[in-house]
């Protein structure tokens, strides 16, 4: 559905421009060209993004240590439990503890983790975080992620970093209360669904809660240079570093507090 929306937007925009330039024939040609460009970019964007991030493909055979091999094996078992095809994995060498995902459910799905994640969380907590990312993939929320990230990277290289930062920090306006309301009701809804998916898949919401709290503390005390110039990656991460910083001054109103409360609510409902 997300890819269809991108194609429709490209078709209408290019057709409208073509109509203004040269009538229906040019409109039709530009519309077809737009669809081709979108499909080519859809297939090329993942490798472009991974190359820019210096991410390495991670498999059980290529894993350099036991924790990485266990991670791949655990996630493959989670995919089976969720009724999903095996996803692919990439790892980025940075101390910033982070995970995000991109692609559609199936062979194009990919979970990207950092080396810092393995130094911050236990094996069970890492499984919960990857289950969260699988939840995003299964829900179809990461279909066009690579395309958007690729555009973000190119825009940054073209010197539009300030504009990207302004767009990504749209909650600059308004007081803290209105910011929290918007985060809770709109931005955090997919993450809360993915948290619930992970809690169900791992059969323990307490593990997901512990992972979120450790990640929040970990990213808050880490150097954010790994995502400098790419604010979209922060929004895609299991725990948004910007939200973690916000939580340090507003612990009772933080986005993480909302997500933890939702997990605890699920736990109480299950116990009842």
Q: What is the pLDDT of residues 202-226, one digit of tens each?
A: 988 999 999 999 998 898 888 777 6
Q: How many residues does the chain have?
A: 272
What mean pLDDT comes out for the span 232-261?
80
**Run of H or E residues at 88:** strand 88-92
Q: Is 67 exposed, middle or buried (0-12, 13-18, 19+ CB in 10 A)?
A: middle
pLDDT value at residue 215: 92
Torsion sign across C-alpha atoms 247, 173, 177, 141 = negative
Rounded to the nearest integer, the mean pLDDT of the chain is 81
What is the band of 124 on the pLDDT scale with cuts at 50, 70, 90?
very high
pLDDT mean over 10-31: 78
Cα–Cα distance measured from residue 128 to residue 202, given in angstroms and rounded to the nearest whole number = 6
What does the pLDDT read at residue 73? 93
pLDDT at residue 174, as a whole number: 36
Residue 189 has pLDDT above 50, yes or no: yes
**For residue 142, how many other CB atoms are within 10 A of its CB?**
25
- Under the banding of pLDDT at 50, 70 and 90, the label for residue 177 is very low
CA 35 to chain centre: 25
Question: What's the mean pLDDT in 158-163?
Answer: 66
Q: How far apart are CA 119 and CA 211, in angstroms?
A: 12
Taking only the tens place, the pLDDT of each residue in 38-73 is 888 888 888 999 998 899 999 888 887 899 999 999
**Residue 255 or 181, more confident:** 255
Name the pLDDT band for 201 (thresholds 50, 70, 90): very high
User: Which residues, 6+ apart, have CB-to-CB distance to 74 below 8 Å?
Assistant: 123, 126, 127, 130
């Amino acid at each position: 559905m997300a890819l269809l929306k991108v194609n429709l937007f490209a078709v209408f925009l290019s057709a409208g421009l073509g109509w203004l330039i040269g009538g229906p024939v040019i409109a039709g040609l530009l519309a077809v060209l737009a669809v081709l460009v979108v499909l080519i970019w859809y297939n090329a964007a993942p490798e472009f993004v991974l190359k820019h991030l210096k991410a390495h493909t991670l498999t059980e055979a290529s894993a350099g240590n036991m924790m990485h091999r266990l991670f791949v094996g655990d996630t493959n078992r989670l995919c089976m439990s969720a009724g999903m095809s095996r996803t692919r994995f990439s790892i980025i060498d940075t101390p910033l503890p982070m995970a995000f995902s991109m692609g559609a459910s199936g062979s194009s799905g990919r979970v990207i983790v950092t080396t810092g994640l393995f130094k911050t969380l236990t094996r069970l907590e890492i499984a919960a975080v990857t289950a969260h990312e699988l939840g995003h993939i299964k829900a179809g929320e990461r279909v066009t992620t690579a395309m958007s990230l690729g555009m973000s990277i190119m825009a940054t290289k073209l010197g539009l970093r300030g504009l990207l930062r302004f767009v990504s920090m749209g909650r600059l306006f308004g007081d803290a209360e209105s910011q929290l309301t918007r985060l809770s009701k709109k931005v955090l809804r997919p993450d809360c669904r993915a948290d619930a998916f992970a809690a169900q898949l791992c059969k323990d919401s307490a593990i997901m809660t512990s992972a979120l709290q450790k990640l929040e503390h970990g990213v808050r005390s880490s150097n954010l240079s790994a995502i400098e110039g790419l604010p979209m990656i922060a929004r895609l991460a299991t725990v948004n570093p910007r939200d973690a910083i916000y939580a340090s001054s507003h612990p009772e109103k933080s986005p993480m507090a909302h997500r933890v409360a939702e997990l605890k609510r699920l736990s109480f409902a299950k116990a009842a």
